[in-house]
């Protein structure tokens, strides 16, 4: 079966901009009632709008692509939901729900497609900024449907060197335990004058937006643990198309799957050896091991 990836990308772009985006924009900051879906000691927020938007996306995709599988954040069942080799839409209806609740303009919809468990299409749309970033395997990247010249952007950013970079870090929803301590120690190592001494770090509160910014050259890397496939699938495809690379958050994890739960995403550069050295230098700052069930 031949799958027209560019056609799917265009379909997802239309869905994101015409149906999903307007809901996110109009409902942002209006949800005063919400659930903590992972317990009272975490801050992983879910609203009724998340669930409604996921149903809208799934119903639309099922009608257009009835044989494809679907994995969504709100319908995910731990230990039951699996990503297979079959074409599978992996969707986060509203990424950055905490931003959404607080009307901070960095919530978006993130829709990806995997084939043989590898990201093949990615669409991320932030309606607050009217920013659409999309890609499909072998077809490059588009920003607001216009081709993105990643080669020129990479050249303008200069060498990829840890102590000359701006990186993305997010503490996540779990604020206790070994993983939280590993994150905090690693943050200190990255910022310290005696450690990575990076120029600075940013937290956008949305993995999808972070990966989109990583791909189009606003960030040098993004390190995180606790994410799920729907947080990274679309952005992974986009990053791949700009020469970027995703490995595991922990030292030595060179080859990982989309559902790995820990990630280090690094932008493209003109020298693959420089990219490899950057990853190794970053890993040298990681103190401890991130591990998630």
- Alpha helices for the chain (secondary structure H): 5-14, 21-27, 48-64, 97-102, 150-157, 177-191, 207-215, 229-240, 272-283
What's residue 174's pLDDT?
Answer: 84
Beta-bridge mates of residue 166: 200
With a pLDDT cut of 70, the percent of the chain lying above it is: 95
Q: How far apart are CA 48 and CA 34, in angstroms?
A: 7
| pTM, two decimal places | 0.94
Mean pLDDT of 186-215: 97
133-169 confidence digits (pLDDT tens): 999 999 999 999 999 999 999 889 999 999 999 999 9
* Parallel/antiparallel/unpaired status of strands 45-46 and 69-72: unpaired
Confidence of residue 78 (pLDDT cuts 50, 70, 90): confident
pLDDT at residue 47, rounded to an integer: 78
The interaxial angle of helices 229-240 and 207-215, nearest 10 deg, is 10
C-alpha to C-alpha distances, 17 to 88, 146, 169, nearest whole angstrom: 21, 15, 28
């Amino acid at each position: 079966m031949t799958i027209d990836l560019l056609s799917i990308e265009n379909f997802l772009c239309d869905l994101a901009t015409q149906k999903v985006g307007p809901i996110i924009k109009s409902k942002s900051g209006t949800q005063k009632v919400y659930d903590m879906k992972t317990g009272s000691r975490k801050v992983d927020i879910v609203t009724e709008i998340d669930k409604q938007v996921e149903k809208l996306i799934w119903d639309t995709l099922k009608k257009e692509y009835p044989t494809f599988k679907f994995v969504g954040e709100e319908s995910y069942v731990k230990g039951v939901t699996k990503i297979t080799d079959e074409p599978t839409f992996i969707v986060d209806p509203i990424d950055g729900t905490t931003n959404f609740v607080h009307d901070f303009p960095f919530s978006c919809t993130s829709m990806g497609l995997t084939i043989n468990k590898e990201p093949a299409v990615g669409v991320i749309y932030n309606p607050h900024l009217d920013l659409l970033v999309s890609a499909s395997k072998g077809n490059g990247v588009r920003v607001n449907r216009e081709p993105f010249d990643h080669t020129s952007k990479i050249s303008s950013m200069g060498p990829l060197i840890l102590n000359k970079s701006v990186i993305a870090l997010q503490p996540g929803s779990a604020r206790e335990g070994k993983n939280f301590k590993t994150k905090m120690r690693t943050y200190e190592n990255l910022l310290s004058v005696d450690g990575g001494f990076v120029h600075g770090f940013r937290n956008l509160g949305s993995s999808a937006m972070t990966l989109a910014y990583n791909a189009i050259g606003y960030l040098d890397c993004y390190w995180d643990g606790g994410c799920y496939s729907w947080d990274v699938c679309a952005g992974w495809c986009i990053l791949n198309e700009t020469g970027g690379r995703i490995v595991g958050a922990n030292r030595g994890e060179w080859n990982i799957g989309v559902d790995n739960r820990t990630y280090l995403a690094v932008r493209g550069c003109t020298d693959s050896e420089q990219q490899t050295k950057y990853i190794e230098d970053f890993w040298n700052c990681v103190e401890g091991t991130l591990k998630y069930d």
